[in-house]
Amino acid sequence: MGDFYEILGVSKNAGDDEIKKAYRRLAHKYHPDKAGGDEKKFKEINEAYQVLSDKNKRAQYDQFGPNFGQGGFSGSAGQGFSGGDFDFSDIFSSARGGSFEFGGGDFSDIFSDIFSGGRKGARGKKRGQDIQVDLEISFQEMVNGTKKKLNIYKRSVCERCFGSGGEPGSKQKICSVCKGTGQIKKTTRSIFGSFSQVSVCLECLGEGKFYEKKCHQCGGDGRVKKNEEIEIEIPAGIFDGQTISISGAGEAGEKGAQAGDLYILVHVLPHKKFIRKNQDILSEEKISFAKAALGGETNVETIFGELILKIPAGTQSGEIFRIKNKGVPDFQNRGQGHHLVKIIVEIPTRLNQRQKKLIQELEEAGD
């Protein structure tokens, strides 16, 4: 495992938002289910993000480096023991992921927590992977909100064995290797005394028991890969680049473990006429020179349909009119923006003789 900051491609001073954006971009790029995905790279990205997105873990990582989570020792004055006094890495390097029991001393609970991540007993079942997908919606759908159906190819709970991994009707047997404990204990003697390493039983993979027959549909995994249709609701007013998360809609976990989450990265397609600025919608309308000077009415297109806008006499080009509550709704239900119309006065470029004469008279009358 390399440096977590380098894995995500961010600096050590990167903020939470920058780290999150880097993770989402890389996770989407290297997801194993995508063409060109890389499972090893994807796992590295996830591990780096799990640490750097947590303030406490990140602080420990910055102080101790990548080994911060493997346990540390510190003694107070007068106790005669300090983590800097002895290097345990050589003695226990082969036991990383196991637990220890020392003869002549009750250190078993301490070391089992340190080297097994605080988890005693059988191997913990793996949570399902998160999934990230990109979704494009129109400007109109962004304003009004919409529902979309996504067809996602993912690991889902096997419908035949309901995630157990066993063929329906098949009985479970106690593992003869670990005697149902899910663990294998190996005792080793050294100059410091005897100690025992506890590891996961490879025969039953830490379950302690197994089915006589594996499910023929999932092969004993409890999951199958298939297309699954998921309907999601896009709230009105969502921003371009915003992510919607659906808990438990990711890939199924191992044999009943928690499912991963689904993250939908929303992209709002640009509109040919309208521009969004926070909760307001901006547009331009052209009017004639005469209407600007004399006043009148003009039709204005809004996202909710066409309206009539009154133009007061003497309107200048570039002047902005506000149409209240015709903008983008706040997706947290805190009101609605406005539609801002910028008036562009069209100056005629080709004039006939009569028009030229009238403008000349207007100019002279103004003097």
pLDDT digits (tens, 9 = 90+) for 103-118: 333 333 333 333 333 3
Residue 167's SS3 state is: coil
pLDDT by residue (tens digit) across 313-334? 999 999 999 999 999 998 777 7
Q: What is the mean pLDDT of residues 153-176?
A: 88
- The residue with greater pLDDT, 190 or 43, is 43
- Asked if residue 92 has pLDDT above 60, the reply is no
* pLDDT for 87 beyond 80: no
pLDDT of residue 262: 94
One-letter amino acid for residue 108 of the chain: S
- The ranges assigned to domains in the chain are 1-68, 275-366
- Look at residue 273 and tell me whether its pLDDT is greater than 50: yes
Q: What's the pLDDT band for 193 if we cut at 50, 70, 90? A: low
pTM of the model: 0.57
Confidence of residue 70 (pLDDT cuts 50, 70, 90): very low
Quick check: 237 and 330 in contact, CB under 8 A? yes
Q: Which amino acid is at 20?
A: K
Contacts 24+ apart (CB under 8 A), 241-250: 241/265, 241/266, 241/267, 242/266, 243/24, 249/131, 250/128, 250/129, 250/130, 250/131, 250/154
Q: Say if residues 266 and 148 touch (Cβ distance below 8 Å).
A: no
What is the reported pLDDT for 230?
93
Q: How far is CA 76 from the centre of its chain?
A: 42
Dist. CA 188–CA 176, nearest whole Å? 23
Lowest mean pLDDT among 66-70, 143-147, 243-247, 291-295: 66-70
Is the pLDDT score of 174 beyond 70?
yes
Question: Cβ distance 347 to 353 under 8 Å?
Answer: no
Residue 119: pLDDT over 70: no
Work out the pLDDT band at 237, boundaries 50, 70, 90: very high
Alpha-helix runs per DSSP H in 121-220:
139-144
- Who wins on pLDDT, 68 or 243? 243
What's the rounded Cα separation, in Å, for the pair 269 and 137? Answer: 6
Question: Does residue 210 or residue 92 have the better pLDDT?
Answer: 210
275-366 is classed CATH 3.40.50.720? no
1-68 maps to which CATH number?
1.10.287.110
Q: Strand pairing partners for 189?
A: 194
Residue 203 gets the label, from left (phi > 0), alpha (psi -120 to 50) or beta, of: alpha
CA distance linking residue 133 with residue 142, whole number of Å? 18
Residue 226 is which amino acid? K
Q: What angle do CA 128, 134, 135 make, to 5 degrees?
A: 120
Q: How far apart are CA 3 and CA 11, in angstroms?
A: 11
Q: How much is the pLDDT for 67?
A: 61
- The per-residue pLDDT for 68 is 58
**Does 204 have pLDDT greater than 80?**
no
Mean pLDDT for the chain overall: 79
CA torsion, points 45, 49, 51, 56, in degrees to nearest 10? 170
Would you state the pLDDT for residue 124? 59
Residues 287/294, Cβ–Cβ less than 8 Å: no
Q: Where are the alpha helices (DSSP H) in the chain?
A: 4-8, 16-30, 39-52, 55-64, 89-92, 108-115, 139-144, 289-294, 353-366
Distance CA(242)–CA(307), nearest Å, equals: 31
